[in-house]
Amino acid sequence: MRPPLLLLLFGLLPRADGRGELRAFVVAHSHMDVGWVYTVQESMHAYAANVYTSVVEELVKGKQRKFIAVEQEFFRLWWDAVATDTYKQQVHQLLQEGQLEFVIGGQVMHDEAVTLIDDQILQLTEGHGFLYETFGIRPQFSWHVDPFGASATTPTLFALAGFNAHLISRIDYDLKADMQKNKKLQFVWQGSPSLSEGQEIFTHVMDQYSYCTPSHIPFSNRSGFYWNGIAAFPDPPKDGVYPNMSLPVTDTNIHLYAQTMVANIKERAAWFRTSDVLWPWGCDKQFFNASVQYSNMDLLLDYINKHSDEFGVTVQYATVGDYFQAVYSRNLTWEIRDSQDFLPYSTEPFQAWTGFYTSRSTLKGIARKASSLLYAGESFFAQYVRKHPASSICKCGALKQLQSLRWAVSEVQHHDGITGTESPKVKDMYMNNLMYGMFNVKKLMASIIFDMNNAKKNGEVYSSVYVKDSGIPGATDVDHYVVVYNPLAWNITTFVAVSVSHLAMSVYDELGHPVPAQVQISAESHSTYDLYILVAISGLSYRKYNVKPLNGKQSAFIGRSVKYKRKDITRADQQSRQLLPVVNNCYQVLFDQNTNLMHSITERETNQTVQLTQEFLEYHVNGDVMKGPISDNYLFAPNASAVPVSKAVGLEVVSGNLMTEIRQYFYSNVTSQDYIYAVYTRMYTVPEGYDGKLLCHRIEQEYSVGPLELNREAVLRTSTNLNTRQLLYTDSNGYQIQKRPFKAYVNNTVARNYYPMVQTAYIEDDTTRLMLLAERAHGVSSQGNGQVEVMLHRRLWNNLQWDLNYSLTLNDSSVVRPVIWLILGTKAVTNILYRTSGLALEHRPVVMFGALSGDKPKPPRRLQQNSAHGSPVTVPPNLHLQTLSIPGWRYSSNHAEQVHSIRMGKRKQGDADFSRVLLRIRHLYEVGEDPVLSQPVMVNLKSLLKGLGSVMVVEERSLTGTWDVNTLKRWKWKTAQYPSKGLSNSTEASENCIVTVHPKEIRTFFVYFQGQ
């Protein structure tokens, strides 16, 4: 509710065109990493709880004092477990007075390079829901001061969430110096080419001092402006004396302090266009003793203001909102930046922060698996609640199970979480929280299946999410069911893999009809078999398959294995090349029998052949700081070009009627016993009567990499004869594509040409494109014409004291098993396939196992598909149902009502609200990308959701749900393109539940059904 008040205040200020006396906005803040070196619990104990307790106490003592609060995870832990009723009341008061401001408002300050858009939105929504429900406030400014590089997706998300300005800091050192010199650190950013000015946002890049107060002061050997010193772990010191406390402000040094501060303000002012100077006061883990902080700064600010004529500067405590409001009211015309991002990020010539794109690959994989399971669990639960109002499952308990995973997935998006840049104990914290949340959601999904099938209580439904190792036990007197849920709002035809203990198996659907399946010996263990079941499932629906050990005529196809002799690739005979073909309806892949390596792929529809080989290489890196640049969790600093790792390759081909699996094992020499690298390549043949378009057009690869030797970084390089001019394309957070031309640098060219691949990367020539789709983030690069290489794993150790002190060396001895799908074809064909395929990889079906012993199943009562959920939920192929969930928030969607009930202390306690369904729909294509798929789409929400009941009311909301879009008026900043300043309202109203979704839009709705 604050902007009108601010506008009045600023109306009284002189409206100089930017220059004149300098005004410094002193923004008190504490940068609180949600995990990094210390766990969340350790941080809460050592300093984080004290930050909020002491800041609230101090703000109440001085009306002029202000503070910004950022990460909601810490604030919520304080609010729920530490804050007394008095503190809570004071927080409400401070927010109303504008002394305390929440910025960003997400659970964490998310990483921008390796996170998926869905998870960025989740963590933002999670924090915003709490803030709006508790305080009726909606953050309007960002403070992305620490992520390592800036993505172009983030400004779009913040615009969609209703923000008025965005703030970033870490961009390439040479670029920042240039922008600083030319006063170009502020601009209007149009992060999305398709949404362009509709979702543009004013963006401020912090100057070279970034978010910390300049610590050097000429008159003392201690840091300056950090009067509370540095946080101490594990326990706060009993006597309150912390290391490195700045000299207290006294009559004798106040002038020196003032000179130092004013000099810094003036230095910074020269880099910006207006006379408003943002002066961040704080750093990592600050303000745990806010009393000593404010009592010293009060004296200093008063002194400077009393002598403002002499200094030419006035100073004031401020929030980020105060600063941006001042800049906005200057009414200047700003330059527009297009959708180019600020990645990768380097801090010095040999410090390219491109290693973290791959660091801790296992954590990156689990984080995405958890996100995908949460996505499935949310829609599964939402449908269940809608259709089974009188269910036997406790809805509040179920919501708690979902919330535990929402919290864990949000937490790991922190910029020292999924990035892999944390200490081992913090990595364990993230993993444990993710595993606990996943266990809860699997349990919830299993109990829902149980309830809906009215199983006898001795039947078990135990759940495993597309993991082969927890398959069907060997007992033969029990009927086993495989329950498969498709979490996507499209009809999906795919294979699910289940471990079984017999080779002779049969699979039947709900009506007792046989289902195509193939069983073969597992690559991992010679005592188990992999059963691949062909499933065809409608959108947001599940099916039950009966798996029986049986030697009947209807048993599954058996995959037959042929092992080829290990080949010495260093001495391969180039003359007499023998090629082994593997063929399905879409591709012919040839393997060279002299080397056992892939040779070429032919796309059968166009008969286009691309020469294509794959090999594993390793970059050797230095771990000794005395000998040169090092690689660590963050940085990638290769000594030289990558070195091939294997001299010999073994080959096994397992072929059956539905699938062929090519297993390649890479050995360091011809006689080695063990391999460190393996590739399992799968190609599918889909029988008549099934829609096999997506299945047929992908070549699935699963890799096994590790354990690596120390100071090695492992890449898979795919080399083709496509003339790509070394141009690479990578996705930005799974939302849009960035063009990545190869750039030559004086130093460190290899590492500075690495980019994050969150979901997609591709290379192409004039006619043909090779796409790679991933289920976790990797670093990716094109180091040669026609090449694309993906970094799969890193294992590092160095002797940099800072890294050692914080346990930040990456001695990761694990084996990683990432999956990448390859798609090859014309640009037109790959355009149609890759969006749906990428999401099909991200959201593979959830597989649960159930044993119903004793009674044989009765003849099915109308047990068709979707018996669980009535009619399926399906959207056209260019749309994605991004969210269908029951958030449980208790707030009113009417803002005036919500604020009133909070002020009156009537905020509803008690049960969550199960009547409000959160729906998001995203358009997957850019304007002009495809003649058909780039068109706007009309969606009738009533008919889309008819399976969930009769839609009564639809409200369109901002991205995180806290604004009614009709009342959301964002600041419109003046640009040469749009010379008038004002407020922008960028949505078209949805008439009677019919909405038109335009390219790249993400539309968010609250949906209410009849009978609630």
Q: Are strands 608-620 and 712-720 parallel, antiparallel or unpaired?
A: antiparallel
Distance from C-alpha of 544 to C-alpha of 850, rounded to nearest angstrom: 9
DSSP state of 131: H
As beta bridge partners, residue 762 has 729, 771
- Cβ neighbours, 10 Å, residue 522: 19
Which phi and psi (to 5°) does residue 713 adopt? Answer: -125, 120
Nearest-5° Cα angle at 230, 225 to 234 = 160
DSSP state of 47: I
Which phi and psi (to 5°) does residue 300 adopt? Answer: -65, -45
Alpha-carbon distances, residue 669 vs 619, 620, 716 (angstroms):
19, 19, 18
CB 130, CB 72: distance < 8 Å = yes
Token output for 335? 């330059």
Is residue 172 annotated as a catalytic residue, yes or no? no
Annotated catalytic residue within 146, 172, 207, 276? 146
Distance from C-alpha of 686 to C-alpha of 680, rounded to nearest angstrom: 19
Distance from C-alpha of 387 to C-alpha of 381, rounded to nearest angstrom: 10
Which phi and psi (to 5°) does residue 126 adopt? Answer: -60, -45
Burial of 87 (0-12, 13-18, 19+ CB in 10 A): middle
Q: Which residue has the tokens 């009284």?
A: 12
Output the 3-class SS for 873-942.
CCCCCCEEEEEEECCCCCCCCCHHHHHHHHHCCCCCCCCCCCCCEEEEEEECCCCCCCCCCCCCEEEEHH
Q: Are strands 579-583 and 982-984 parallel, antiparallel or unpaired?
A: unpaired
Half-sphere exposure in the Cβ direction for 232 (13 Å, CA): 14
CB 235, CB 45: distance < 8 Å = yes
| Tally: H helices and E strands in the chain | 21, 47
DSSP state of 330: T
Q: Are strands 346-348 and 648-655 parallel, antiparallel or unpaired?
A: unpaired
Output the 3-class SS for 828-842.
HHHHHHHHHHHHHHH
Distance from C-alpha of 347 to C-alpha of 354, rounded to nearest angstrom: 11
Distance from C-alpha of 696 to C-alpha of 885, rounded to nearest angstrom: 32
CB 752, CB 352: distance < 8 Å = yes
Report helix, strand and coil shares of the chain as percent, to nearest 5: 25, 30, 45
Distance from C-alpha of 756 to C-alpha of 130, rounded to nearest angstrom: 31
Within its chain, how far is the Cα of 812 from the centroid? Answer: 22
As beta bridge partners, residue 825 has 769
Question: Which secondary-structure segment (H or E) carries 549?
Answer: strand 541-549
Distance from C-alpha of 618 to C-alpha of 713, rounded to nearest angstrom: 5
DSSP state of 378: H
Alpha-carbon distances, residue 688 vs 516, 608, 700, 724 (angstroms):
11, 25, 21, 37
Distance from C-alpha of 151 to C-alpha of 167, rounded to nearest angstrom: 12
Q: For 446-462, give the DSSP string.
A: HHHHHHHTT--TTSEEE
Token output for 733? 């957070």
Active site residues: 146
